[in-house]
Amino acid sequence: MKIHVRGLPMKRVWLLILLSMIVLNSVPITCGDEHNELKWSRAAAEEAEEVASIKCSGHGRASLDGLPIEGKPVCQCNSCYSGDDCSVFLPNCAVDSGSGNPLFLEPYWMKNAASSAMVVSGWHRMGYEYEDGSFISRELEKVIRRLHEVVGNANTKGKYILYGAGSTQLLNAAIVGLSPAPPQNFTGNHSFSPANVVASIPFYQVYKQQTDIYNSLSFKWKGDASLWKNNSDSTENFIEFVTSPNNPDGRMMEPVLKGSSAKTIYDYAYYWPHYTGISAPVDTDLMIFTISKLTGHAGSRFGWAFVKDRALYERMENYLDVNSIGSSHDTQLRALVLLKSVLKDKARGLFEFGHGAMRKRWVMLNKSVSKSNRFSLQKLRPRYCSFFKKVTYPSPAYGWLKCERKEDQDCPAVLRAAGVMGRNGSVFHASNKYVRVSLIRSQDDFDLLLRKMDALVSQE
């Protein structure tokens, strides 16, 4: 190929081309760099990574919102650990096995730090509503429905969705929605019957606590569902809480009360592959879930409900709007980021980790208690899990420990003397022959629980 440039010798032409290439390669192309370079978010991201990198000897965590010392974040130690870096073990410390803090999932999120991190601008969604005038993130709704479809634990088609501050707010919204409204200017002289709220013993104590604290004219707490099973008065309305798997004992539950006057609130907080085999998608009229026991982010306070009946949905929505003007946009964004992270591998990573951890803990606690004639644990059966496509063995969130000796009427006191702080059976309206011990807390908490149970059993 010949190149002719009028008036210029050939050698000068090639020299000009070469110089042009050098100049072009030496000038920075700024458009792409300016677009990709972090600006206002850099400092926030660096601060978050700096705090997250504080090791605390593996027995604690530092947090951005923790109380600083001399302007620097400090370690917040796990139970029975102390010192600036949480390296000091306190051998005579009592282990907290009472609360349901799902810290067992913390290691999973540390391994998935990049996909679960978020940086939010100071002007992110400052108003009350979303673009459509609702308090619901529609993108989050799509992800939630997709998650249930992937896991196969709930049929969400044809159902409305509501968000709340954890499942706790939604539970009371459901009671309000299902209860009859008293007549206007009600004085107590009218013929009006409030709804009777019940649950099967042992049950999650919040059901009674919330019903009592609101002290409503529309609903009253009436205790154990089985006491009303043969109730012949069809004019009375009942609302039954059904938790499946049950808290505290992990059993799969069904309603006790039947008939047109009985309505059911299904609490499916633990119906995930961590804790039980998913035999089939649930398809009930009112289903409540929470992110707390799914991803472990209990402090984010986010839950959702699927409601089949439009009139009930509207009553619950009205309660939530008046009670809290919707759910936090920041919380909804965090839930969106977390659930998208879960779905990146079709949820295999989270549930394989979660089920593996819970199964291992259940086996170890059973091994310890099986050596005892003084204590026993609940019996749970293997279940086929459609998510894992195999039979899975029990992996409950809690041990429902029973003191078998006649003289041990106060089982919580027996455990307290051994340095184990469980949750009394009476909290769940059962006998204090029982204690709930948590298997979902941190690895440190579980290790200490096991150590103290081994020591207690060895004294027999």
The answer to whether residue 118 sits within a structural domain is no
Q: Which of 362, 365, 360, 357 is nearest to 457 (CA)?
A: 365
The answer to whether residue 351 sits within a structural domain is no
Q: Cα–Cα distance between 304 and 221 in angstroms, integer?
A: 24
Alpha-carbon separation of residue 98 from 173, 272, 373, 374, 420 (angstroms): 27, 21, 23, 20, 9
Sign of CA dihedral 103, 359, 295, 424: negative
- Supply the range of the domain harboring residue 231: 138-181+194-343
What's the confidence (pLDDT) of residue 36?
Answer: 63
Q: Cα–Cα distance between 253 and 331 in angstroms, integer?
A: 31
| Domain CATH number, residue 318 | 3.40.640.10
Q: Which long-range contacts (CB under 8 A, 24 or more apart) does 107-112 make?
A: 107/353, 107/443, 108/296, 108/349, 108/350, 108/353, 108/354, 109/295, 109/296, 112/341, 112/349
What's the confidence (pLDDT) of residue 29?
Answer: 41
- For 450, the token pair is 């096991």
Q: Which of 350, 422, 445, 355 is nearest to 395 (CA)?
A: 355
CA atoms within a 13 Å half-sphere pointing along the CA-CB vector of 136: 17
The answer to whether residue 338 sits within a structural domain is yes
pLDDT tens digits for range 83-132: 999 999 999 999 999 999 999 999 999 999 999 999 999 999 999 999 99
Q: Which of 162, 247, 155 is nearest to 200 (CA)?
A: 247
Tell me the one-letter amino acid at 153.
Answer: N
Please answer whether residues 199 and 241 qualify as being in contact, where contact means their C-beta atoms are separated by less than 8 angstroms: yes
b/e sequence 267-299, b meaning 16+ C-beta within 10 Å: bbbbbbbbbbbbeebbebebbbbbbbbbbbbbe
Return the percent helix, strand and coil in the chain, to nearest 5.
40, 15, 45
Q: Cα–Cα distance between 361 and 47 in angstroms, integer?
A: 35
Judged by DSSP in three states, 196 sits in: strand
The answer to whether residue 127 sits within a structural domain is no
Number of folded domains that form the chain: 1
Q: Cα–Cα distance between 246 and 263 in angstroms, integer?
A: 18
- 389 by Cβ neighbours in 10 Å (0-12 / 13-18 / 19+) ranks as exposed
What count of residues does the chain have? 460
Tell me the one-letter amino acid at 242.
Answer: V
Q: Cα–Cα distance between 203 and 224 in angstroms, integer?
A: 9
Q: What are the φ and ψ backbone dihedral angles of 435, each rounded to 5 degrees?
A: -140, 135
Q: Cα–Cα distance between 436 and 415 in angstroms, integer?
A: 11
Residue found by looking up tokens 């299902």 in the block: 178
The answer to whether residue 256 sits within a structural domain is yes
Q: Cα–Cα distance between 23 and 388 in angstroms, integer?
A: 59
The answer to whether residue 121 sits within a structural domain is no
Which secondary-structure segment (H or E) carries 12? helix 10-26
What's the confidence (pLDDT) of residue 191?
Answer: 74
Distant-in-sequence, close-in-space partners of 29: CB < 8 Å, separation ≥ 6: none
What's the confidence (pLDDT) of residue 232?
Answer: 45
- For 184, the token pair is 């206007």
Q: Which residues pair with 352 in a beta bridge?
A: none
The answer to whether residue 198 sits within a structural domain is yes
Other C-beta atoms closer than 10 Å to the C-beta of 359 total: 17
Tell me the one-letter amino acid at 441.
Answer: R
The answer to whether residue 146 sits within a structural domain is yes
Q: How do the pLDDT tens digits run along the chain, 460 residues long?
A: 444 444 445 545 444 444 444 433 444 444 444 456 788 999 999 999 999 999 999 999 999 988 888 788 899 999 999 999 999 999 999 999 999 999 999 999 999 999 999 999 999 999 999 999 999 999 999 999 999 999 999 999 999 999 999 999 999 999 999 999 887 766 666 678 899 999 999 999 999 999 999 989 999 999 999 999 887 466 789 999 999 999 999 999 999 999 889 999 999 999 999 999 999 999 999 999 999 999 999 999 999 999 999 999 999 999 999 999 999 999 999 999 999 999 999 999 999 999 999 999 999 999 999 999 999 999 999 999 999 999 999 999 999 999 999 999 999 999 999 999 999 999 999 999 999 999 999 999 999 999 999 999 999 8
